[in-house]
Structure 1
């Protein structure tokens, strides 16, 4: 049976190798924070991190991931204390309905880990998640504020 390292725990799953990772995480591991939106890796609601990189899990088969790779879901992002992005999202009321925001938060956290001070163009190029409520202005403000806060905590 395949094994996965999810949020720092190795789990064994009894599923077909071509099962999308999203369904493994939700239905077999029981972590339901990651959402299903489109099923074709376009909307970003299913965004997780694999080795720190934002990855859309709905179209990624289980057999594309190894036990050595570290998978982080929204549940693992702020496991000890809320991640700075999660804190800013709550403070600025970034989410409206909230459905897509898990993916937005995961994409933002990955972006800021790789590029701590992204320009507006960088943000627009990297955060390509779709929000049906149109909270893009608040998302942009949230990314900028999280970047500032994370930078000030390092110095």
Structure 2
């Protein structure tokens, strides 16, 4: 095959339509349950000159109603709204259907990619929360949510 023919094939492959992913839509996670929703934050390092970060852990029973997207391929993202009182970092482990990950406030990260085969996706997140102790002046409520981008919507 000549270089020109290979280049034409490559350009044709790149121009081929990809499955269209829709705008992100919020997923109903109202069946999720936060175990012990008041997270006790502790100083990460008590030594002088150490970190000023506060850390805490919480377990969340995640239940996502994905029934409107059943039978379609989709990507689901975990979202943490921006925090006015300083940076917040969350990381989590999982036990099943969703991916472990991490994100900062104002970001989102992928937790699922593939076909939606059930009405409900369930998992357990064990979350480690980290916040800048110099910026936190009062208790904060973190706003986590989930967004989905499904093919063909």
TM range (shorter): under 0.3
Higher share in strand: 2
Higher relative contact order (CA closer than 8 Å, sequence separation 6+)? 2
Higher gyration radius (CA): 2
Which has the larger share of helix?
Answer: 1
